[in-house]
Structure 1
């Protein structure tokens, strides 16, 4: 069974140990923020493995729980090699991945790990919320051999075990996915030819060819902010498309060699359309657009020269499992009040968090401002207007009594932020 809204916190699942792998390159501040969220997970036991460059490793020293991390140095800009180092170090039954520019909900690991109570499940993935902390960036999807994705329609919050078809694999997001260690190590981990982009999609398709079952767990949620990197700005405008082009060359050569030319033209058209949108929005100049598209072409040509090497099984861990002692227990608190009391509410939230409680703070202004949710290193904080949208499907303006609005927001977030039991269902992708 998988955790249910309203149920008491579930006890730790004996033997379901999880190794969380975080890869970081060039984003030390984002890495530290991600780890403050990971340090407050409800699941037990879990360990945290960080594969980071020199600036990232230096930044970790400022964290009060740094001694509880397993850290591996890696300065090469190759996410696949870095993730494979994390898998090799992982001593848990399950290996979970989250990006350094994401923050997990407190019950993220609890919900992901619960999916593996079904012995048929080889992998699991959850939902990803975007910059505003409320709208979804990605949910359940399948992917074909040309890299085209399609939504999978799931009903409600129940996790679903999905069996791939010959045409479509189950698409797991790199910032929110987990695998049985025996499965991902046996597959040889990630293909190091994917230095950035499509690395997990390639793995999904390799799993699909073997008919391996993946669970989609809607309540296993992370917040993904798209932090700036050497390849893109904070506003998601790309700085360079070389590695994206190279990854497409590797991917299409491996999975759709008979459709490579047509699929590549589709990719080119999509990237050109994306560049035009940035151009219209004022994010880039015409010269930038020409440079970006040229880097895409050059990357594709270079990617065609990256020859495939056999992916051999990764070795068993050479270390014991190192249980991380979380900063929070299974209990949680929901604080709410008007915007003019925000300072006092924040002080109370920080005090509760330092005492080991997971805290959510809701601040309401007398307005119709849209709501935003963000992680503030000790607690979750949602701010917006009493009459404004939180869920973007809500009407533009709705009249609420403060007490009813507070209760509605508390109900909206409770399922993903606490441990509850839901049944695992089975299905195939649409």
Structure 2
């Protein structure tokens, strides 16, 4: 098929993921719909930058460059967008591998000119070999994966999930880039929602825009053992509440919490009921899943309350860095 040229951006920050990074790049190079280029954006780590530069200096189609903005995932993605050449920019996590048809599924979504973003399905690869019995599928977003409650097939959504997503370049020209100060920043508190905030801004800037997820665009995301623990679950759900408060501060609570209301009032109660039923039937993990859902709701709500107070006190909580300001700097 003929379709848009797609640049793939992989943001990296630590040598601890060296083998994961190499595997991610190999999966992009093996696509049935070839990428125009792969950009590795290194987040303020000179040793990793030098090592990757040497590893790929004779490899065509792979470019290694430093994050040109402040430390963090949002600025790294903005750097990749500004340096890329494709009509579409896809993002892949540095600890994930894409199935061979990943980019082809993205490209097919852009046959409709109204489509400005297409996301995919992210499958967890548990370090222990299987899902912890207590871990509810409704909370797979905690480990960066597609969660129970999202629509199947190819469907319209409010926002895509950043570790497996693509955008037309026109989306950044219309709405600006990822907001710095909201997403991940190395080993600090596991914040998120930078892609949610961008997608909402995009829909406000382009009311006719269509944003899709396509569950045929599959990647497999490694979940390390520390993230299988209940302590990380609590930390991540609390951080999500903090992040959602920043999003609501930026785009308003009506838009910022639109999807979350359905999730909290329909998806989670159904998951809780399934957990209780399994517990009553003596099935492993049922009580744990029900308890985890309640814990996740409470910790996220607590994070949202704390984040809302902080956001009101600090005024503007983060900066929506406009990629269009750097379009002329593309090499």
Interval of TM-score (by shorter of Structure 1 and Structure 2): 0.5 to 0.7
1:277-299 deviations in whole A, cap 9, x for unaligned? Answer: 9xx79xxxxxxxxxx99998766
SS at match of 1:119: coil
Q: How far, CA to CA, are the matches of 1:170 and 1:235 in structure 2?
A: 28
Is structure 2 residue 223 aligned with structure 1 residue 226? yes
Question: Does 2:118 align with 1:124?
Answer: yes
Q: Cα 1:222–1:149, aligned 2, differ >3 Å: closer, same or farther?
A: closer
Larger strand share, 1 or 2: 1
Work out the number of aligned pairs and report it: 266
- Looking at structure 1, the residues matched to 254 and 115 of structure 2 have their Cα atoms a distance apart, in angstroms, of 31
Evaluate the alpha carbon distance shift between residue 313 and residue 89 of structure 1 in structure 2; reply closer, same or farther with a 3 A threshold.
closer
Deviation at 1:208, TM superposition (A): 3.0
In structure 2, the residue corresponding to 1:56 is in which secondary structure? helix
SS in 1 for 2:249: helix
Other structure's SS at 2:215 match: strand
Question: Which whole-Å deviations, capped at 9, do the CAs of 1:131-153 have from their partners, x for residues lacking one?
Answer: 16999x79xx9xxxxxx995325
Map 1:36-115 onto structure 2 (within 5 A): 36-53=26-43, 54=45, 55-60=47-52, 63=55, 67-68=59-60, 69-74=62-67, 76-115=70-109
- Larger mean Cα displacement after TM superposition, 215-224 or 305-314: 305-314
Listed as ranges, the matches of 1:97-246 within 5 Å are 97-131=91-125, 150-154=149-153, 159-160=154-155, 162=156, 169-196=157-184, 197-209=192-204, 210-227=207-224, 233-235=226-228, 237-238=231-232, 244-246=240-242
* Aligned match of 2:7: 19
1:114–1:258 Cα change, 3 Å = closer
RMSD over equivalenced CA pairs, Å = 4.3
Look at both structures and tell me which one has the larger radius of gyration over its CA atoms.
1
Shift in CA distance, 182/129, structure 1 to aligned 2, threshold 3 Å: same
TM-score by length of 1: 0.51
Kept in 1, the 8 Å contact 2:240–2:303? The answer is: no
d(CA) in 1 for partners of 2:38 and 2:255? 41
Alpha-carbon spacing, 1:73–1:235, altered in 2? closer, same or farther (3 Å): same
Q: Distance in 1 between matches of 2:117 and 2:158?
A: 10
Q: Distance in 1 between matches of 2:211 and 2:301?
A: 35
Q: How far apart are residue 200 of structure 1 and its match? A: 0.8
> Corresponding residue for 2:250?
254
Could you tell me how far 1:45 is from its partner in structure 2?
Answer: 4.4
TM-score by length of 2: 0.64
Taking a change above 3 Å as real, the CA distance of residues 37 and 227 of structure 1, as seen in their structure-2 partners, is farther
Kindly state the Cα deviation for residue 254 of structure 1 after the two structures are TM-superposed. Answer: 2.6
Larger relative helix fraction: 2
Q: Is the 8 A contact 1:193 1:250 kept in 2?
A: no
Aligned residue in 1 for 2:327: 316
* Contact 2:119–2:166 under 8 Å retained in 1: yes
Against the structure 1 CA distance between its residues 82 and 306, is the aligned structure 2 distance closer, same or farther, given a 3 Å change threshold? farther
Partner of 2:292: none
